[in-house]
Structure 1
Amino acid sequence: METNVSYSSFVALGDSFTEGMSDRMPDGGYRGWADLLAQGLASRTPGFRYANLAVRGKLIGQIVDEQVETAAAMNADLVTLVGGLNDTLRPKCDMDMVRARLEEAVTKLAPNCGQLVLMRSPGRRGPVLERFRPRMEQLFAFIDDLAERHGALVVDLYAAEALGDPRLWAADRLHLTTEGHERVAEAVWQALGLEARSDWTEPLPPVAPPGWYRRRGSDLRFAREHLVPWIGRRLTGRSSGDGRPPKRGELAPFEL
């Protein structure tokens, strides 16, 4: 059932997932689930305002240091925080530090917004997910605990079988496609108690798996175009978000 709650302002915090990669628009920018959610909320509430502080590549410590104070000061009706997954995908990860910084963020944000939303992030099926699954599940268990203690909502994207389908992931195997972002926006929409517009958990139609040569060709392109540059940034201490400003740094009216 749809609730009577309305949101007049929304602030999104996070990394590339919340920035909207790889939901590319014709002008070369990215849209993503947070923009889609804002669009839906704006259609219900005149004067709706939206900020998106997310920057690709950010680790949880950077999200806390660079985004949380700004978001808390905005006193928005709705705040979403998604972070920590980039940390878990690093070869070395201090999970105690990740948990401490997440708790710092939630402790600051929860009293300064109407509704805080956290997420159990989706994972693309494959060997990378299996390698990092234990860390991810530690992270998600802590997110559940934080939400219970601070009155936050948790949107469980990780448990949705459909969002693990490789067809909903871009060629870099790290970011969702346009349809993937649309499903995430719908998942958050429904978690807020709003009337369902589609079934975001619906599996994609079955298809025959690609042949060996097609899979190997895809693996080679992925390694050349995405994996090698990612490794290069790790070795040199660089990030894809270095020097990049927030996507939408001011809490301002959102135009449909």
Structure 2
Amino acid sequence: MERAPRISSFVALGDSFTEGMSDPGPNGAYRGWADRLAERLAACSTPFHYANLAVRGKLIQQIAAEQVPLAEAMRADLVTLVGGLNDVLRPSCDMGRVCGLLEESVERLAPACGRLVLMRSPGRRGPVLERYRARMEHLFDFVDTLAARHGALVVDLYGAASLGDPRLWADDRLHLSGEGHRRVAEAVWQRLGHPAACDWDEPLPACTPPAWSARRRADLRFARQHLVPWIGRRLTGRSSGDGLPPKRPDLAPLACADPRRIPERD
């Protein structure tokens, strides 16, 4: 593991995963792994500045056009870039274009920041993952290639057994739960060279699977509350992030958390 560098500024780029869905904080706003990581980094460096440019639903072309130039100009000590998965999950995905835009983004960000971190995104076990597995692995192999070429770090969440557990995912089956986001923050923290506070990939305790009737009720609830609206947005060309600004658009001061505090389990 590499020795942890001193980080006094952090910019997070991406889509809903980095925005923090579905991990509501005490005030009801989404928190997520990036906010959790920023709070811990702030405890190690004062003053500390943080921006989160991620917006739910963004495709890699939008991230490259709207977020990358802003992050490049901020010249932060740490930049995280996670994107392309929304493209991969669309039927008409041009993998060549996705990888090309990701490469252009990395080429701009790597020389403009102290440390660039890329990720192999987590995948929830189930039929959706199997349907798109080949595309996802194509994308993640390319992420590894880019990281090696530009000196970036890679956090492998896709290979984490625990993050495939449906119990670490929200009811929409697309986003991690609060506990899932806590584990991702710990994974990035450790990849940066900080001492481990816990085993972030520790399997959840074994449990008895829910009864067939309970699973069917959950499937119907998921279809009504999440799947049907998602299909509607796809048919009309809309995105859940249309018109939404980033939650932290500026590289602004972030209050220091208690450095002795070990992140809680949700």
TM-score by length of 1: 0.98
* Alignment-derived partner of residue 203 in structure 1: 203
Distance 1:5 1:26, change over 3 A: closer
What root-mean-square deviation, in Å, do the aligned CA atoms of Structure 1 and Structure 2 show? 1.0
Distance 1:25 1:50 in 2: 17
Distance 1:3 1:136 in 2: 30
* Alignment-derived partner of residue 232 in structure 2: 232
Distance 1:4 1:60, change over 3 A: closer
SS in 2 for 1:103: helix
Distance 1:2 1:156 in 2: 15
Q: Is the 1:37–1:185 contact (alpha carbons within 8 Å) kept by the matching residues of 2?
A: yes
* Alignment-derived partner of residue 188 in structure 1: 188
Within 5 Å, give how 1:38-187 maps onto structure 2. 38-187=38-187
Task: After TM superposition, give the deviation of residue 91 of structure 1 in Å.
Answer: 1.4
Runs of 4+ in structure 1 deviating by more than 6 angstroms, as ranges, are none
Within 5 Å, give how 1:17-32 maps onto structure 2. 17-32=17-32
SS in 1 for 2:119: strand
One-letter code of the match for 1:44?
C
One-letter code of the match for 1:114?
G
Q: Deviations over 1:10-48 (max 9, x none)?
A: 000000000000001232210000000000000010101
Percent identical residues: 72
Task: After TM superposition, give the deviation of residue 255 of structure 1 in Å.
Answer: 1.4
One-letter code of the match for 1:238?
R
Distance 1:206 1:4, change over 3 A: closer
Q: Deviations over 1:130-183 (max 9, x none)?
A: 011000000000000000000000000000000000000000000000000000
Distance 1:78 1:25 in 2: 23
Q: State whether structure 2 residue 37 is matched by structure 1 residue 37.
A: yes
Distance 2:190 2:129 in 1: 26
Q: Is the 2:55–2:245 contact (alpha carbons within 8 Å) kept by the matching residues of 1?
A: yes
Task: After TM superposition, give the deviation of residue 92 of structure 1 in Å.
Answer: 1.3
Q: Deviations over 1:196-234 (max 9, x none)?
A: 001001000000111111111111100000000000000
TM-score by length of 2: 0.95
Distance 1:249 1:22 in 2: 20
Q: Is the 1:2–1:195 contact (alpha carbons within 8 Å) kept by the matching residues of 2?
A: no
Q: Which runs of 5+ in 1 are unaligned?
A: none
